[in-house]
Amino acid sequence: MRLLLGAVCAVVLAAGGTMIAAPSAYAEADRTVSSNTTGTHNGFYFSFWKDSGNASMTLRADGRYSSSWGSGTNNWVGGKGWATGSRRTVSYSGTYSPSGNSYLALYGWTRNPLIEYYVVENFGTYNPSSGATRLGSVTTDGGTYDILRSQRVNQPSIDGIATFYQYWSVRQQKRTGGTVTTANHFDAWARAGLNLGTNHAYQVMATEGYQSSGSSDITVREGGGTPTTGPTANPGNCTATLSAGQQWSDRFNLNVAVSGTSTWVVTLGLGGGQSVQNSWSAAVSGTSGTVTARPNGSGNNFGLTIMANGNWTWPTITCQTA
């Protein structure tokens, strides 16, 4: 059996919008939904659908939602995320307690072509990899995922009744919390010949149940699980401290604060595929691999924009006195 998100409820979830501000700009009260609806809440897109029963979802602060459903529910799905999918890195945490058939998955759709996709992080009694064609695996974010494809023929979709493929990454080591580097799954699918469409619809961290019962309490946000700050001390009374700046679907900002001297040379070791797109408040040499920064008269704090290219690991950093 291959149910879940799109095969039964895609038409209801087709409505969309755009996230209009950062989550911190919102302070909406908790809201419980128990009938089919979509919208935004505290800066996040949400969707809720069921075909029967007593399932409900409570929208909470920022990207958090909680859910519960009983055995009288045939099929339901709900979650928080984004109205437009992308190669974003997603972090989530919480609790997930299914009894029976259920998924916890990052889930979305594309058009041109019409594709339904899942990154399954946890599941109940039914493993979706048992009902699809295995095309390989990808190791990312501390685990290995089976890559699979299945086809739905004349089934509901975001564009009505249609025939379309489903792409799957199913984590072999179940978990309920961590980072999903979506770009790594997209790239692994492409290497297996599974090409997504050019037009992304919604992307949500969803809980789903089918003829089962259970509960979940999930918080989702954009960005990886990298620490907020990461100081590196070096000989010569020179210390460089990294801290996170703004992050987008394909790049991220890092701030660097230098202490101990005003004549410094900071060396950053970028990861594979990464490159410097922009920098400010320092004289920066190099765009990939080893990058160096020196004072340019703007003080001891500077920043960089790094194109991730699927690699969201912060660069290594050292500091020396010039």
Is the whole model's pTM more than 0.75, yes or no? Answer: no
Q: Which two tokens stand for residue 62?
A: 């920022």
The 10s digit of each residue's pLDDT in 255-286 is 898 988 899 999 988 878 889 999 999 999 99
**116 catalytic residue (yes or no):** yes
Scan for tokens 């409900």, then name that residue. Answer: 56
Q: H or E segment at 196?
A: none
* Pairwise CA distance, residues 148 & 93, whole Å: 25
Q: Which of 28, 121, 208, 222 is catalytic?
A: 208
- Give the β-pairing of 115-123 and 160-171: parallel
CA dist 277 → 8, 86, 174, 264 (Å): 43, 19, 36, 22
**222 catalytic residue (yes or no):** no
Q: Which of 185-189, 224-228, 243-247 has the lowest mean pLDDT?
A: 224-228
Each as own residue / partner, the long-range contacts of residues 235-240 (CB below 8 Å, 24 or more positions apart, any chain) are 235/320, 236/260, 236/261, 236/319, 236/320, 236/321, 237/261, 237/321, 238/264, 238/319, 238/320, 238/321, 239/319, 240/264, 240/266, 240/317, 240/318, 240/319
Q: Which two tokens stand for residue 87?
A: 């190669």
Q: Which of 28, 116, 121, 222 is catalytic?
A: 116
The 10s digit of each residue's pLDDT in 144-197 is 999 999 999 998 788 888 999 999 999 998 998 889 999 999 999 999 999 999
pLDDT band at 244 (very low <50, low <70, confident <90, very high): confident
